[in-house]
Amino acid sequence: MTVLHLADAGEAADLAAFLSRLVHYDRAAAVRLKAGATTLAVFGRPPSFEVLAIRTARLAKPYENGLDVTLDVTVSAGEMLESVEEQAATVGVPAAVTGPPWAGVLPPRGGWLPEPGLPGPDAVRAEVAAAVAEFRSRTEELAPELRTRAELDRVGREIWSRPVGDTRLPVRAAHAAQSLGFLRPVPPAPVSAEGQVPPVGGPLALYSSGAWLRLRTPFGSVAVRRAGLGSLGVSVH
């Protein structure tokens, strides 16, 4: 099994947490891996949310023992999770699996432009909490004979398709980000002896490229398509 060396134990722990959440939602979850000289990108698709989740991890050294090659493979999320060694800061790459359809359709590599109207992190988390509470309240109020899968789906589509703030991002994308641990508060950064605060990742931001929207957080990103597979802006890799 090929072994990837991550930058530190923290990167390994965060990667394990991401894989664990994917497996929680789907025990048979698959992830697509793309690794280059300095970064491993892990793509997953938690069920129900209709989004792609992206978690990156810094590599301690280039993939494949320093050779100038890249890794691009779809594997079992569960098998990859079992191979994570946090103290050693390593992760194994399991045998390739037949990828689900989404694994062949990834967001564009570039061309991302800032989108206006995104509220701050606290407001986004509040919108998600309000949507969850509304869904629970409305479905609990339904008479037993009306609490069908079709009706629950209808209520869910109405609530989760609403935009976040003044953006085109659906609330379901923010809900997915929170469920995957991407919207958690950023802990205070430690201050060095020289009084400098090290960077901890970019702030919450929204970008668009073609038919895609991407919510970026310091802990990962969630991408969602605004149109179907046949639309412009879809990137097939």
Q: Give the pLDDT confidence of 144-197 residue by residue, as tens digits.
A: 898 899 999 999 999 999 999 999 999 999 999 999 999 988 766 555 455 554
- pLDDT value for 50: 87
What's the topology of domain 2-101? Answer: Proliferating Cell Nuclear Antigen (3.70.10)
**Residues 105, 45 contacting (CB under 8 angstroms):** no
Neighbour-count burial of 65, counting CB atoms closer than 10 A to its CB (0-12 exposed, 13-18 middle, 19+ buried): exposed
- pLDDT value for 65: 54
The string of pLDDT tens digits covering residues 39-97 is 999 999 998 888 999 999 999 877 655 555 678 999 999 999 999 999 999 999 999 99
Neighbour-count burial of 85, counting CB atoms closer than 10 A to its CB (0-12 exposed, 13-18 middle, 19+ buried): middle
Q: What does pTM read for this prediction?
A: 0.84
What is the domain partition of the chain in residue ranges?
A: 2-101, 113-185+200-236
192, HSE (Cβ side, Cα atoms, 13 Å): 5
Q: How many residues comprise the chain? A: 237
Contacts of 136 (CB under 8 A, 6+ apart): none
